[in-house]
Amino acid sequence: MKKIISVFTAVALALGLSVSLTPAANAACSGKLKIAYQGPLTGSDAALGLNMLRGVQFAVKKSGLDVEVKEVDDQGDPAVAGPIAPSVSQDECIIGLVGPAYSGASRVSLPVYLSAGLPVITPSATNPTLFDFGGKIFHRAVLTDDYQGPALAKLVTNNVKNAKVFIINDASDYSVGLAKLVGFTLGSKVVGKETTPTGTTDFTSTIARIKKSKANAVIFTGYFSQAAVLVKQMRDAGSKAVFAGGDGVLDQQFVKLARKAAEGALLTAPAVPFDSANAKLAKEFKKVMGSDPGVYTTESYDATNFFLEAIKKGNKSRATVLNYIKKNSYKGLSKTLKFDDKGEVAGVDVNGFVIKGGKIVLSGPIK
């Protein structure tokens, strides 16, 4: 049914576009300036997207500027992101976009934004190849999987003696890329590999393979909703292997869904938790937004503030905003955003986390 739904959406959007396209083309923004956020706001990974959206909204609220936050829901799905990108790029009032959250969705969206000159800062898409799709408009407020992959491998080998690792990916762009890098770093310590496409609920055969491989650690490079199901079934089947995952798993929802089975899980993220960056601001966040900041809230907050800074300095079009963020730097909560010629930031660490007593606890930078 999902396919049918996305076909329907595509047709509906195509119809909608052809109507709205004509008057809006090439007109400069005449109303309120907008900053867009693009990521999964519905769908099974919505929790992660909402973390970021709230970071964007919070930054705009705090700035006091008259800027609208435009929500762009791509469900984290390239098939959804493709058809909606043109409508985003046609709204000239959108002068900057925070996102896309996911690498797969970024690949299809970025070329559209490149041709429209819309500057993009992604707070969370970590696939290393994205510059090739976004070119000059692409910027990233986190380290890529080129850093996260080795760090995740290291986190596991630092914590598990004589690690024998079983690597599982969920067939998404992000997951396959991260799994490759993890595997490359671990080399001969990898005792097995498996792909469990998103939506898999029964892991019987995967667990049989894990057991046979005698792995003492399992690294899952997908997202939290599936990770929770997998780790629960592992524990129920009596597997004691250490469970580890990347930033896709690092979400309070993972702990909520997997409960006791999540205990002791090792996680990485090139992200900085909001409350360890600024505890006071985190409290204010909770008060204003009505929920705790989550993973990538800090990075979204920083990215948005960089755009807002550009607006404050009088930049009111895509071209000047792009120029501003290319030439200047911004000292954010997580790090100083200063982009190199490929839109990447440098000089920061990937952080390690461990789940203890139902909480995600920062264990520090992975060395």
Note the residues at the interface with other proteins (CB under 8 A). Answer: 1-2, 4-5, 8, 41-44, 46-47, 171, 194-197, 199-206, 208-209, 212, 225, 228-229, 232-233, 236, 238, 253, 256-257, 259
Closest approach of other proteins to the CB of residue 125, in Å: 20
Which CB, 131 or 223, lies closer to other proteins? 223
Closest approach of other proteins to the CB of residue 141, in Å: 25
Which CB, 196 or 304, lies closer to other proteins? 196
Look up residue 64 and give its amino acid: G
- 256-283 CB burial, b ≥16 within 10 A, e <16: ebbeebbbebbbbbbbbbbbebbeebbe
HSE toward the beta carbon, residue 154, CA cutoff 13 A: 16
H or E element, residue 105: helix 103-116
Closest approach of other proteins to the CB of residue 11, in Å: 14
Closest approach of other proteins to the CB of residue 199, in Å: 5
For the record, the structure tokens of 71 come out as 């929500």
**Residue 98, beta-bridge partner list:** 37, 121
Closest approach of other proteins to the CB of residue 50, in Å: 8
User: Are the C-beta atoms of 59 and 98 separated by less than 8 Å?
Assistant: no
Which CB, 97 or 234, lies closer to other proteins? 234
- CA atoms of 225 and 234, how far apart (whole Å): 15
Which CB, 156 or 234, lies closer to other proteins? 234
Choose among 176, 164, 65, 159: nearest CA to 352: 159
For the record, the structure tokens of 60 come out as 């705009």
H or E element, residue 267: strand 266-269
Choose among 211, 233, 158, 219: nearest CA to 190: 219
- In degrees rounded to 5, what are phi and psi of residue 8? -55, -45
Closest approach of other proteins to the CB of residue 20, in Å: 23
- CA atoms of 40 and 48, how far apart (whole Å): 7
Closest approach of other proteins to the CB of residue 178, in Å: 17
User: Are the C-beta atoms of 264 and 354 separated by less than 8 Å?
Assistant: yes
Collapsing DSSP to helix, strand or coil, 355 comes out as strand
For the record, the structure tokens of 167 come out as 């690597």
Which CB, 197 or 365, lies closer to other proteins? 197
Which CB, 176 or 281, lies closer to other proteins? 176
Closest approach of other proteins to the CB of residue 253, in Å: 7
Which CB, 194 or 309, lies closer to other proteins? 194
Choose among 203, 267, 266: nearest CA to 235: 203
Which CB, 228 or 333, lies closer to other proteins? 228
Which CB, 38 or 90, lies closer to other proteins? 38
Choose among 101, 179, 177: nearest CA to 140: 101
Closest approach of other proteins to the CB of residue 136, in Å: 34
